[in-house]
Structure 1
């Protein structure tokens, strides 16, 4: 069985309140918008249920006139810098030796790097020459759950080995300055830069054990979420029907997976849902609260960090692990959605001894 033995999160250099971002937007980006668009943007920002967002660059650069090349150069430089710091911190905090790492998975959808960031980490941190690398680049917000699933598959086959998963997202540099569509307004209001690293081992022992995993695909949903590659960079695709699509499929994703493992909703103590935005998180909260359950840690992460794409679900796990009294035998359910359209789930069981 695979177990998560350590979770490390890393906060980007710059943090801004919603009021600070709104002020910066009104003094730069929104100056070119008509009055109706400005009012709409401010309503989306202030109604997002997000108090703080983080970024690797200051707001004047995030809202500046950058070419695609300039944006992607920022992405490459910051990915290596934050990747080295994140993995170094995770190694130090967990007490593992870098030479123990057999498998390194990296997830990101907010820029392009060839070679991928994991190649730089192998060199910078002196990982073994035979370390297995898996960059996951096109899973969007589901990249964190996907990475855990891929690590689980590897460690089930190799129970004596160690895997690390780094989720690294910089959506601040995907901002489209000349786009005042509803999609870009929502994207600018909810997304935030973020980084997290999970260390996983095979076999028995302390940690959050992965009991089972599942991937669920929405047929005919490729138009719902993603990026279009345009001359100014990555332009968000975020269909207004996403919340309705999730609500329509939610029980089909959720209940059969629990049943397959002989579980019911009441058997799960800790629910961890990726908060794609206010509508989605409120829908899930309304559903789960009918069973006396809550997703307070998911809401806390959205409120204090925003939507960090693939890094969000790992931040939620870290928040649950540190803010709650986790007992041996406690069960967890983790769910995230991503382009395709798809949902990815994991069931966890904690062992503290």
Structure 2
């Protein structure tokens, strides 16, 4: 239910009311990082020497102003040659670890913790493959406790940040008082194909490099990051996989290019929009809440058409998705961590009031929609 009256700055528990569901865990901090050079869409088209008016239109009508990217170096003629898969994997390793370390340290600073406090680290990426994984590399790079629990979620795509949050919230609930971290680090520059085709133009017009970390702790209601009154409690998750659109988003081997290549079906926005109501209704089922009771919506910045489809099908306002569109404008789609960039902006905005509910939503290959219900 939505509290419609003005509340004092520090309301009592009775004034806010009880949670409709048991609390799984609590978000206590967030941090983000980017790498590479900020570049506008027009500058990127010029850097890649794209003259095709159809391709240029895709870039310039994307609702993206700039992104952070690490492009291949230009030759003496100013041209940028496609990078072989081996070079892209090395780029992914370098960028993902560097951005991940910065985002993790920013997150720990936000919640007043140190590297020594981290007891569980779950790393998410879909823009490269490493063995050992990013979690092991970060433990070595930053000097985290060698006994720190860890997991790596690889290849799930843009929805994977919420899949990780689900798993880490469960670990946190089983280990009260101990600090757990979800870290999404996506070097999208390492998944670029510079071949000038319309297929790759859609991908190249959209994704940017970025990392985001979220800290959780259970059994500690006083902990929280700045801008959030105690940090939101994680209450519930709901998922939906649209198996009829299984191949609509995929990252697979392109034999002609001799490398992996990402594919986005033009129908994806409509697939996501058509199923958004189903997964949100499942999330709210049994809680006594309606969509109108949700004060804050943090939706994956999947692209202009995807955001529009979610807004229309859920009956949201442009204000509801202001941070989603703002992150898309300033960073592009940073894959699994996009919704955490939006959460960071909401936390900094300082408009959240105790007792308000929020829905987190991501979508990705499968085609999959993931959601979480939180309460401040």
User: Normalised by the size of structure 2, how large is the TM-score?
Assistant: 0.85
Say yes or no: does 1:199 pair with 2:244.
no
Q: Distance in 2 between matches of 1:210 and 1:132?
A: 21
Q: Distance in 2 between matches of 1:338 and 1:86?
A: 22
Gaps of 5+ in 2: 1-23, 222-229
| Structure 1 residues 116-265: aligned runs within 5 Å | 116-178=133-195, 180=197, 182-205=198-221, 206-230=230-254, 232-265=258-291
Residue 328 of structure 1 and its aligned partner are, at CA, apart by 1.0
Please, which of 16, 20, 44 is the counterpart of residue 39 of structure 2? 16
2:225 match: none
Please, which of 27, 41, 64 is the counterpart of residue 50 of structure 1? 64
Distance 1:149 1:168, change over 3 A: same
2:48 match: 25
1:307 match: 333
- Give SS of 1:211's match: strand
Q: Considering only aligned residues, what root-mean-square deviation do their CA atoms show, in Å?
A: 2.0
Q: Distance in 1 between matches of 2:267 and 2:220?
A: 43
1:40 match: 54
Distance 1:55 1:290, change over 3 A: closer
Mean CA deviation greater in 39-48 or 17-26: 17-26
Residue 171 of structure 1 and its aligned partner are, at CA, apart by 1.2
Say yes or no: does 1:285 pair with 2:299.
no
Q: Distance in 2 between matches of 1:293 and 1:302?
A: 15
Q: Distance in 1 between matches of 2:180 and 2:38?
A: 30
- Give SS of 1:190's match: coil
Residue 204 of structure 1 and its aligned partner are, at CA, apart by 3.9
Deviation readout 1:230-277 (Å, 9 max, x if unpaired): 354320121122122112222111123213322101111101111211
Mean CA deviation greater in 306-315 or 49-58: 49-58
Gaps of 5+ in 1: 32-37
Mean CA deviation greater in 101-110 or 81-90: 81-90
Q: Distance in 2 between matches of 1:60 and 1:301?
A: 28
- Give SS of 2:243's match: coil
Residue 183 of structure 1 and its aligned partner are, at CA, apart by 2.6
1:294 match: 320
Q: Distance in 1 between matches of 2:92 and 2:274?
A: 36
User: Normalised by the size of structure 1, how large is the TM-score?
Assistant: 0.90
- Give SS of 1:7's match: strand
Q: Distance in 2 between matches of 1:260 and 1:63?
A: 54
Contact conserved, 1:331 with 1:348, CA < 8 A, in 2?
yes
1:34 match: none
Please, which of 67, 92, 102 is the counterpart of residue 119 of structure 2? 102
- Give SS of 1:19's match: helix
Higher helix fraction (1 or 2)? 1
Contact conserved, 1:140 with 1:338, CA < 8 A, in 2?
yes
Residue 160 of structure 1 and its aligned partner are, at CA, apart by 2.6
Q: Number of aligned pairs? A: 340
Residue 126 of structure 1 and its aligned partner are, at CA, apart by 2.1
Q: Distance in 1 between matches of 2:119 and 2:162?
A: 20
Q: Distance in 1 between matches of 2:102 and 2:283?
A: 36
Mean CA deviation greater in 217-226 or 42-51: 217-226
